[in-house]
A and B are shown apart, each in its own frame.
Chain A
Amino acid sequence: MITISVNNKKHQLNDDVDPETPLLWVLRDTLGMTGTKFGCGMGQCGSCTVHYNGEATKSCQLQVGSVGDAEITTIEGLEGNGDHPLQQAWKEHNVPQCGYCQSGQIMAAAAMLADNPKPTDDDIDLKMSGNLCRCGTYQRIRAAIHIASASKEASS
């Protein structure tokens, strides 16, 4: 039986969950946490980005059997009330269009900021290029990351 910890909560998975199942589908179909999105299933789009011990990870490429006792954080658990500086900056900049890619974008950005609180445009472009946005919100994503970075700095 597999047990995984998601957003600081332990989940015991039923025996019928194949350990090779990508974490993405366990989150979505087994645990009903649909904030993490499916976009490609091959590590190309980043819609499924979660944190694996704080590191941005594409959950469609991570077998649930290999999660072990790592801590998984999804968009639902990023910050209690959805008021992470990035989420606030996202709202301030009206970043989302359709919104589908945005959980993954925010999760990727959050991991980057934790690592590099003051990223340059180039840092952002490099780190965020694994996350596709078909609606084309990249410019606002970049701007919102800078805002969040500044507000984080101000508050720390």
Chain B
Amino acid sequence: MSPTITAPNQPIPEVSRRTFLASLAASTLVIAAGTNGNRALAWAMQDADDNLPFEPNLFIAIDTAGAVTILAHRSEMGTGIKTSLPMVVADELGADWDRVTIKQAIGDARLGSQNTDGSRSIRRFYEPMRIAGATARTMLERAAAQRWNVSPDECKGRDHQVVHEPTNRTINFGDLVADAKSLETPSENDLKFKPKSEHRYIGRDIPIADLDDIVKGSATFGLDLKREGMLYAVIARSPVLGGQPIKVEVREARQTPGVVDIITLPDFTAPHAFQPLGGVAVIATSTWAAIQGREALKIEWSKSDHDTLNSKEHEATLATSARTPGRVVRKSGDAPATIANAQTANIHEADYYVPMLSHAPMEPPCAVAEVTKNAAGEPISCEAWAPTQNPQAAQSQVAQSLGIQPERVTVNVTLLGGGFGRKSKPDYVAEAALLSSELDKPVQVTWTREDDIQHDYYHTNAAMHMQAVVKDDGLPTAWLQRSAFPSIMSTFNPAADEGSGFELALGFTDIPYDVPNLQVENGKAEAHVRIGWLRSVAHIYHAFAVCSFPDELARRANRDPYEYLMDLMGEPRNLDLTGVEYPNHGEPLSRYPFEVGRLRHVTQRAAKLANWPRKLPKGRGLGIASHRSFLSYCATVVEVDISESGSLSIPNVWTVIDAGLVVNPDRVHAQLEGAAVFGASLTMHGEITATNGAIDQSNFHDYRVARMNDAPKRIHTEIIESDALPAGVGEVGVPPFAPALCNAIADATGLRIRRLPLSKHDLSWNG
């Protein structure tokens, strides 16, 4: 009998009674695994009860028929993680992949972190998955050894059975479950991991679990979720952050066919964090009717302090801040004094700017919620279905919005039609819960594309000022860089008016160049929109400056930019970040040092693949950039072709990644291909602007993203073979793309782009 994980429907009980565990047959062998601090552990559950010894990250269940079920606790948004982590379990277990079923977990704090961002799923959970798999296998091996009365050392779990190697006898996993269940959990020291040579899945290209459903159109994304009697809602939100509806004319909207109700949502109060934005909801019998009803609403919004935001002026303010001495966040030698004493002719400086960006996942934010009430009409529980990167945050935000305990909120995670960081913020899930509570019906909230583009948690705009004093060989004796950008922290603390240590550590405080006098600073900046994190976060604007400036210096000295970059990085070494606030993506530097040698290596490989240097006719050029992010090393070479009239195409991109050990190489290649397109979108087109606080763009016609005809034509990717600790993948390809492309433009025509996007520039040239 297969374990069923589907929870019963009404009435909605507490989450704790609805877990994976509680639903399993008593005869099933269940292994839970987790991390306890930095240590991964696994143990067998004797009884499927809720008295867990500590927070597990995962469960594996093997039933007496041999069916293996693995709980995927991280969200699938296109990286393949729902497949890749179970691959690790299956490999260590010796399971046959065809007999493995993957189930998506609900949001549950006892599963450990489910916050699927920061390119950290493999890095954080590779070990626990292996330990879980090895624990289960060891128990099955021991059960077989008992049955045969032989030494467990002679028994090997593989191909879904245990083999007694000296005699070649075998017993299927399922037939061992009953015996294995009564055994003690082996201690971690007793576990023997499979050597790489015995891996059948890790390191192989395994298709994603939902591939078949996706190509048939039967996969369930958040927007596809239907509940009996469900109503459809869209919400009119203030065009300026913080505005509130002061006068709402609803007559016409109510007369719109299909409109059922119009509900004003609770006002929004700072800090916005993950709260819903408030506004006026139109509820109808179809999404279209709700959209039509909203069109017919007339709303007067209160004035908000954020209506001072005008992007042109804001850009100038940030640029000024970046040119003004600021808070020093890294210092060695004395860069300011070296610059002050240098001859003007030896000083090179540049100002860079990257505008605001919107995530624009193909599936906009959306959620379904179903609230249950008590006799007094108070909400007592809520079940939600959402494409969320962070089901636990959704759970707590829904609980907070409804005024109930988080244990009373069940968040089911659907497939995500893209996330890119937007779907880490569960404001939209709470909107659905609030409306369901008002209406006593299941409600789906849909963000139209306009809602998505105009009310995002934006990737912030940023200004960078760079200064260097150069010697005759072009190499710098002093380097000063300063950035200014509204901080993500402002979303949680409105008083935050400078970059946080964590943002600065994303590609700025850790510049890997070997310069005797080095200073990194940050300036003040106020936020007037919700600032969020978008695929690769502050690495985008930091890498744009940090990887463009060396190319400027190289060209100024008439040197080959690749050779120059290698010289600038200097000798292979671990970057000395003593005294620098450097969170290192949440990992100690002792485990994941910043290894300049690995950065050099990917740079060399990318140059090699691109056949660097090449003599190309005017209008064509190559640009290179390399950057460490999410503990991985990545280099990109971009080839551009620019016509005399200034139209640009990207015939080739070469990207090389060193992400340590890689689980599913095909998905890593896919992420790098996707990152090149994502990078091309933001470099060529990406710009969100505001006028008097309201966002100017609204849909894909004015917030353009790359299409097949302007995306890079051929993206060549290479993964460095490595057994180093696994590091990030999903975001790593993005940061080097913009500088590599702009460096290629400089190579092709001599034009230096210091402000994105390219669509704001005339790229034409004279032959």
Contact = CB atoms under 8 A, between A and B. Distances in A.
Contact of B232 (A29, A47, A140): A29
B324 interface: no
A38 B285 CA distance: 17
Interface string B411-426: 0000111111000000
Given A39-B362, A94-B207, A22 B288 contact: yes
**Main SS class of interface, B:** loop
Contact of A98 (B287, B418, B707): B418
A54 B675 CA distance: 34
Contact of B288 (A21, A39, A97, A141): A21
Contacts of A32: 226
B211 A125 contact: no
A44 B700 contact: yes
B214 A136 contact: no
Contacts of B418: 98, 100, 134-135
Contacts of B80: 97
Contact of B362 (A22, A91, A98): A98
Given A40-B699, A132-B700, A18 B705 contact: no
Nearest to B420: A134
A94 B205 contact: yes
B676 interface: yes
Interface string A101-138: 11100100000000000000100111011111111111
Contact of B673 (A38, A121, A136): A136
Interface in A17-61: 18, 21-22, 25, 28-30, 32, 34-42, 44-45, 47
A87 interface: yes
Nearest to A14: B285
A126 B210 contact: no
Contact of B216 (A35, A37, A40): A35
Interface stretch (B102-110, B624-632, B709-717): B709-717
Contacts of B219: 99
Nearest to B210: A99
B708 A128 contact: yes
Contacts, number: 190
B555 interface: no
Contacts of B217: 34-36, 74-76, 103
Given A30-B286, A101-B362, A136 B216 contact: no
B13 interface: no
A132 B712 CA distance: 14
10 contacts: A16-B285, A18-B292, A34-B221, A39-B449, A41-B448, A42-B701, A87-B216, A99-B78, A135-B78, A139-B713
B728 to A, nearest CB: 16
B564 interface: no
B258 A16 contact: yes
Contacts of B707: 129-132, 138
Contacts of B252: none
Interface residues of A, number: 58
Interface in A74-92: 74-76, 82, 87, 90-91
B246 interface: no
A90 B216 CA distance: 10
Contact of A132 (B362, B670, B675): B362
A97 B708 contact: no
Interface residues of B, number: 69
B437 to A, nearest CB: 22
Contacts of A30: 286
A146 interface: no
Given A94-B205, A94-B670, A97-B78, A102 B363 contact: no
Interface string B688-710: 00000000000111000111110
A97 B210 CA distance: 10
Interface of A: 16, 18, 21-22, 25, 28-30, 32, 34-42, 44-45, 47, 74-76, 82, 87, 90-91, 94-103, 106, 121, 124-126, 128-142
B288 A25 contact: yes
A139 to B, nearest CB: 6
B360 interface: yes
A94 B208 contact: yes
Contact of B77 (A36, A39, A98): A98
A42 B453 CA distance: 14
Interface string B359-373: 011111000000000
A87 B217 CA distance: 10
B666 interface: yes
A98 B78 contact: yes
A28 to B, nearest CB: 7
A129 B676 contact: no
Most chain B CB inside 10 Å of its own CB: which residue of A42, A133, A142: A133
B678 interface: yes
B448 A96 contact: no
B215 A82 contact: yes
Contacts of A137: 670, 673-674
Contacts of B292: 18
Nearest to A89: B215
A18 B284 CA distance: 13
B226 to A, nearest CB: 6
Nearest to A25: B288
B477 interface: no
Contact of A99 (B360, B417, B674, B677): B417
Interface in B261-313: 285-289, 291-292
B287 A90 contact: no
A94 B83 CA distance: 13
B449 A42 contact: yes
Given A132-B700, A136-B711, A47 B362 contact: yes
Contacts of A21: 286, 288-289
B215 A96 contact: yes
Most chain B CB inside 10 Å of its own CB: which residue of A38, A98, A140: A98
Given A18-B257, A25-B288, A141-B708, A45 B700 contact: yes
A7 to B, nearest CB: 11
Given A34-B224, A98-B415, A133-B362, 18 more contacts: A28-B223, A29-B287, A34-B223, A39-B364, A39-B449, A45-B362, A74-B217, A97-B80, A99-B214, A99-B221, A125-B708, A125-B709, A135-B78, A135-B418, A136-B676, A136-B677, A139-B715, A142-B708
Contact of A91 (B211, B223, B666): B211
Given A42-B449, A94-B211, A98-B77, A28 B218 contact: no
Given A125-B709, A141-B708, A100 B287 contact: no
Nearest to A36: B217
B363 A39 contact: yes
